[in-house]
Amino acid sequence: MTSVYAAIWDLNGVIIDDMPIHFESYREVLGPLGYDLKMDEYNALCVGASMVQVFGKIMPLLPKPISIESAIEQKLNAYFRLAEGRMVMLPGVGELIRGLARIGFVQAIASGGTGREIEVILKSFGVDQYFTASVGCEDVTKGKPDPEPFMTAAQRLGAEPANCVIFEDGEFGIRAAKSCGMKAVGITNTLPANELAQADIVVDSLEQVTPDTIADLLQ
């Protein structure tokens, strides 16, 4: 490849199956503050959003005040405790990450999670060596659906947006990618296919995708 081709991955719900753990950790923080987060509200507010975005929306509704910094720290601690022994890499992900690396793609994470989450998760599954860059919520001023997370990842990889493919389970992320001219693969791990319809490809599992499929998207 003469140009830099890039794969930019969302993390939660794309690489690992941890959405129930996130739900539990949000509830653990918000419950003592007098807020009973329900699953339908979680799906509407939290899927594809950063912790800063989520707590920013919920804080005005809390009977008991708390700072965003404190809420995020408590949520992270709850998440890592609840996730121990429960995090599972989703089918086809490891093979696709390694396969893309073999054909010359550079790769990055662009997640609404923190840099700490990204580092711990990639290392725990032994795939950190395949990622040249990562973008967490602390690296941007605007989260998805704003394209800033993906544009920042592309810049760190030295890739033009037209040469980037993103992997997403959320409508916000797909909107962000398409708004800046990137290709998008939607995976129905979290939302149904109709809510990911803006993606160039929608699949139920990354077992259905090969490195050549991704390379062909950029031709």
Strands of 201-203's sheet in order across? 133-135, 106-110, 6-9, 164-168, 183-187, 201-203
Task: Write down the CATH number for the domain with range 6-17+87-217.
Answer: 3.40.50.1000
Q: What is the pLDDT of residue 25?
A: 95
Quickly count: other Cβ atoms within 10 Å of residue 42's Cβ. 18
pLDDT in tens, 80-97: 999 988 888 999 999 999
pLDDT above 90 covers a percentage of the chain that reads 74
3-state class (DSSP) for residue 68: helix
pLDDT in tens, 1-38: 458 999 999 998 899 988 889 999 999 999 999 999 99
Average pLDDT over residues 143-151: 95
The full DSSP string for 85-145 is TT--BPTTHHHHHHHHHHTT-EEEEE-SS-HHHHHHHHHHTT-GGG-SEEE-GGG-SS-TT
pLDDT in tens, 198-217: 999 999 999 999 999 999 99
Average pLDDT over residues 141-164: 96
Query: Which residues of the chain does CATH 1.10.150.240 include?
Result: 19-83
Q: How far apart are CA 23 and CA 18, in angstroms?
A: 9
Q: Are 14 and 100 spatial neighbours (Cβ–Cβ below 8 Å)?
A: no
Q: What is the DSSP secondary structure assignment for residue 77, as one 8-state letter? A: H
Q: What is the pLDDT of residue 2?
A: 55
What is the pTM assigned to this prediction?
0.86
Query: Which residues of the chain does CATH 3.40.50.1000 include?
Result: 6-17+87-217
Task: Write down the CATH number for the domain with range 19-83.
Answer: 1.10.150.240
